[in-house]
A = this chain, B = another copy of it.
Amino acid sequence: MHVMIIGAAGMIGRKLAQRIAADGVLNGTAVRKISQYDVVAPEGGDVQVADLCAPSVPALLVAQRPDVIFHLAAIVSGEAEADFDKGYRVNLAAVQALIEAIRAVPEYCPRVVFTSSIAVFGAPFPEKIGDDYHLTPRTSYGTQKAIAELLLDDYSRRGILDAVSLRLPTVCVRPGRPNLAASGFFSNIIREPLAGKEAILPVSDSVRHWFASPASTIGFLIHAAGLSGAALGHHRALSMPGLSCTVAEQIEALRDVVGQDAVDLIRVVPDETVRGIVANWPQDFVTPRAHALGFVAENSFDDIIKRHIVDELGGEAS
């Protein structure tokens, strides 16, 4: 089993490679090779530099005939909105180049696990977004992900490849430093207080959103790699299970797990821009298809926090 991870330098890519290396198997088969590529390669790691947007690079990668390709590489939502050309190049043209390179290899039909996003859905929403709700992206990022889903469905139906597209919930608690993503605060208000630091909450605590932990997210990707195409049928895009909760419920969970001292480190500083962006984000889903296919996520935000403490803080909040 040769596993290739494209977009391996990101948080999810690194955790995925670690998990597969630790497991030593994928889909019940021994992993003999994990190829990791990204446009940037952190020093000292196993990630090799490869820009999928450059001519011939997709063909070179695919010529290795990996059995499973995790395609995680993407420009994030904010950047795809700010830089129209770069967004379409990285999030759409590079995906097209990859799947066309696969099509050019004779008698080769790899499992492709693609990270789509709940950004394929835009406001107005039903109370819960079901598995047959239409694609209504309100960003170029969401549009690019939705188009990639459709292409992967058609290429799968044609037998060119064997795709699974996962619409990932917002990953929370995201480790590392606070970042500038509009969704960053959902993680910041948990991670920073757990480390004894102050965090800013820019929206009302009534805001509701859809979450899964990094560990669950890695679990989705691993599980997707092993699903049978027959079980998936024609429609290869799946909204992943997650946990719908409000910011108030996140804070309540923080209080439950580590106490009021942590909660006191959250400072409310309203930001109308962030509030406006978040108002157009999905709040809740029902995901019967993913459940039936065996995907699982957390049931409580307490569990998400406890998982973060175990995985990132050595089992103890400061």
Contacts and interface: CB of A to CB of B under 8 A. Distances in A.
B150 A143 contact: yes
Interface stretch (A27-35, A127-135, A213-221, A305-313): A127-135
Interface in A136-165: 136-138, 140, 143, 146-147, 150-151, 153-154, 157-158
B235 A136 contact: yes
Contacts of A143: 150-151, 153-154
Nearest to A157: B138
B138 A135 contact: no
Interface string A92-116: 0000000000000000000000000
A16 to B, nearest CB: 28
B133 A154 contact: no
B135 A132 contact: no
Given A146-B150, A147-B150, A158 B134 contact: no
Contact of A135 (B131, B135, B157): B135
Interface residues of A, number: 23
Interface string A49-72: 000000000000000000000000
A234 B122 contact: yes
A131, A137, A143, A158 pick with most chain B CB within 10 angstroms: A143
Given A84-B158, A158-B84, A147 B136 contact: no
A123 to B, nearest CB: 9
Contacts of A234: 122, 136, 138
A84, A126, A137, A150 pick with most chain B CB within 10 angstroms: A150
Nearest to A138: B234
A86 to B, nearest CB: 14
A163 to B, nearest CB: 13
Nearest to A237: B134
Contacts of A147: 147, 150-151
A150 B133 contact: no
B154 A137 contact: yes
Contacts of A146: 150
Contacts of A122: 234
A158 B84 CA distance: 10
Contact of A133 (B126, B134, B151): B134
Contacts of A134: 131-135
A69 to B, nearest CB: 21
A126 B131 CA distance: 13
A254 B138 CA distance: 46
19 contacts: A84-B158, A126-B132, A131-B134, A133-B134, A134-B134, A134-B135, A135-B135, A136-B235, A137-B150, A138-B157, A140-B154, A140-B158, A143-B150, A143-B151, A143-B153, A143-B154, A146-B150, A147-B150, A150-B150
